[in-house]
Structure formats: C-alpha cells, structure tokens
C-alpha cells in the first residue's frame, strides 16, 4: 500500500509539474461589428456564430487548451455582455480562465495587445498566442511552439499559400523562415504566402506597442523583420477567413474534408447523407432526402421528406419543408423554409425568417424575423 501511495503521489506531482510547465496565455482579436457576416451577426456577435455546429471562437479556444493555454483573453468592443455569458460555461467545462479586454474605441490589430499588457505579462517568461477570430484551420499550436522555440527570436507568424497573391499582402522569407519583407498586393510575383492570422510572440513585443489604434501588420511586423526578430511558419492543412458568407461556406467545406481525413467519426452515416455531412444527433431527417456533399445540420433541425441540400449550413432549430432544394446558402437559427422552395447563390437567412411555399431565393440576404411571401430572383437585402 505504501508503494502504491508513493507511485500515485509521484504521478500527481508529474501531472502538476506538466500543467505548470505548459501554462500559457492567448489573446483572440474579436474586435468589430461583424458587418460582413450580416444578417447572422445582427443576432449574435460574430465569434459566437456557429461554424460547423460550434462557435468559431470555441473551435479556437479548445485547440489552444490542447496546446497548454490556461488563460484566454478576448479583445472585444461589441456586445461584450453576450460574449461573457456564453463563454462562462466553456470556461467551466474546459477548466481555464477566459477574460474579456474591453475596447472603448477600435484599437486595430496591435492596440489590443497593449490593452491586455498587464494580463499577458503575468507569465513574463513564456510566449503567448494571438489569433484573428475569423480564422479557421487545423490550429497547429504545438507545432508553432516547437518552431518558435527552435528559432529563438521574438515572433512567429503562420503563413498560408494562396492562388492569387496579387489580391493580398504577401510575406517574403528565407528557407529557415526568417522574414525579409512584406509586399502589399504585388504586381509581379515575389511570393504566394500570406499572413494567416495566427501568431506566437515573446512578451518583449509589448515594449514596441503603444495603447492607441495601431496595425500590427503595417507598423509592428515590418519593424520586427528589420530587426531579424520575425519568422514565418508554413501552415499545414486547410485555412480560411470565414468572416463573410461566401468564405463561410467554403470554410465549412474545407473543415468537413479535414474531418473526413482526420476525424471521420464526426461525420454522419445516415442513409440520406452523401459525401462529407455533419448532422447534430438531435436533428431529424425525413425520407428520400439527398443531403450533401458539404452540409452542416444543427441541433433540433427538421428536414422533411424529399429535401435536397448541398454546400450549405442549416442552423439550430430550423425546419426545411418537403421537396425544397438548398445550395450554397446559410439558413440561420429557428427559420422556417416552406415546401418546394429553391435557395441558392449564397443566400443567407437571419434568425427566425419564414420563407413561404414554392418560392425562389437567389442571393438574398434576409434580415431577422422577416416573412418572405414573394421570390427573390436576384441578389438583394430584404429588410
């Protein structure tokens, strides 16, 4: 018995030491009003909008916790009360601290670091993560940490490959990852890697940032690269900024493909589902439906007989009437889509929208609590 007790005491000590050793912080840049993702963000702050049946910010927080983060700070300036209430339950579930850093005015992408300086300096000898709230990917935080420790400099940013670099600011760096310069929307090819919105910094970066509206990309990063203190790590797997409906739909497709390769048990095996489909266990799917590919169906949804859905998200509590056809669209919370309805063209229904039977909606953005009694044949905002 004394031997078993000593083994248990040693294991407890090992677990405690590991937790202390891994203890880290992260700052998620939540910021603005989410205007690009309206009408969904008229009901919820953008980080709380469910992406593949889980708020975007919760995807990020869970991945941070796996990498050893014990305190997540959210830089917020809009509907902070809603954020605080919703995230309290995730704080308890994950056994971490989640605190909000309130912006009285928009502080850009660097100012929030200065605002949270006191909290970030609590673990002065450990680096901290910074994330843009719109980014979805495989979140390789442990790989970032290893890379950061190996190069030993002040900052690491993740970069991702794009097909049209002329649309972006690109990152130019050497084989070992040391960043040479940033080029805004190049007219001739210099790089096809762009900033992916995931960073890891030593706390010394805080000495460079003042508490005022500042762009970390335009002001701080060029200074760090001149000093030889900034490295780029190529992001493995998928990446998408899901801050607008078109990219939200593409991001869901990429995420579901990632699940198919890495966590196939998350995807539905329902006889009506074809390709990569994520269905909450409380959703009900009728007979003779064709669901997929790239479809997400949320909790409490009802999909009646003969419905066809592809490349779309149906959010919590919504009902789709029989023989309707939905493609490249987002149906918000508690909506009612009638029978024989056709929706396509990146249509987005806000919360509690009703579409009457036998209507056509093409690229419509329907604000919350509306009832639509006529077709929307061309892209339009319905207020």
Catalytic residue list: 185
- Of 219, 228, 310, give the one whose Cα is nearest residue 272: 310
- Of 378, 382, 363, 367, give the one whose Cα is nearest residue 40: 367
> Tokens for 198?
């995931």
Do the strands 239-241 and 135-137 form a parallel or antiparallel pair, or are they unpaired?
antiparallel
- Of 325, 334, 326, 295, give the one whose Cα is nearest residue 311: 295
Contacts of 194 (CB under 8 A, 6+ apart): 159, 160, 162, 165, 168, 169, 170, 171
Q: Which residue has the tokens 């995230």?
A: 87
Q: CB burial class (10 A; 0-12, 13-18, 19+) of residue 271?
A: exposed
């Amino acid at each position: 018995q004394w031997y078993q007790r000593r083994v248990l005491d040693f294991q407890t000590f090992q677990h405690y030491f590991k937790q202390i050793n891994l203890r880290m912080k992260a700052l998620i840049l939540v910021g603005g009003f989410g205007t690009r993702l309206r009408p969904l963000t008229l009901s919820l702050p953008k980080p709380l909008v469910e992406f593949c049946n889980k708020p975007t910010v919760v995807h990020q927080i869970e991945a941070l916790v796996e990498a050893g983060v014990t305190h997540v700070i959210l830089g917020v300036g809009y509907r902070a009360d809603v954020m605080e209430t919703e995230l309290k339950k995730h704080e308890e579930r994950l056994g971490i601290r989640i605190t909000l850093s309130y912006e009285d005015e928009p502080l850009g992408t660097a100012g929030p670091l200065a605002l949270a300086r006191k909290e970030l300096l609590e673990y002065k000898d450990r680096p901290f993560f910074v994330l843009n709230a719109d980014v979805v990917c495989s979140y390789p935080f442990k790989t970032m940490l290893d890379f950061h420790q190996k190069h030993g400099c002040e900052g690491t940013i993740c970069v991702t490959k794009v097909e049209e670099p002329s649309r972006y600011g690109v990152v130019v760096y050497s084989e070992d990852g040391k960043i040479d310069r940033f080029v805004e929307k190049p007219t001739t090819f210099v790089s096809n890697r762009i900033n992916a919105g995931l960073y890891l910094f030593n706390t010394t970066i805080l000495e460079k940032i003042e508490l005022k509206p500042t762009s970390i990309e335009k002001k701080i990063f060029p200074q760090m690269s001149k000093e030889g203190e900034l490295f780029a790590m190529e992001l493995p797997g998928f990446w998408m900024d899901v801050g607008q409906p078109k990219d939200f739909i593409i991001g869901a497709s990429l995420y579901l493909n990632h699940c198919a390769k890495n966590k196939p048990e998350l995807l539905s095996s329902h006889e009506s589902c074809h390709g990569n489909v994520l269905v909450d266990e409380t959703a009900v799917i009728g007979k003779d439906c064709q669901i997929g590919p790239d479809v997400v169906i949320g909790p409490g949804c009802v999909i009646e007989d003969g419905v066809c859905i592809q490349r779309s998200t149906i959010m919590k509590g919504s009902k789709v009437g029989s023989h309707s056809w939905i493609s490249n669209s987002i149906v918000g919370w508690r909506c009612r889509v009638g029978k024989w309805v056709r929706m396509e063209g990146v249509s987005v229904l806000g919360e509690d929208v009703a579409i009457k039977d036998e209507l056509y909606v093409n690229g419509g953005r329907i604000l919350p609590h509306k009832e639509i009694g006529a077709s929307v044949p061309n892209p339009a905002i319905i207020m």
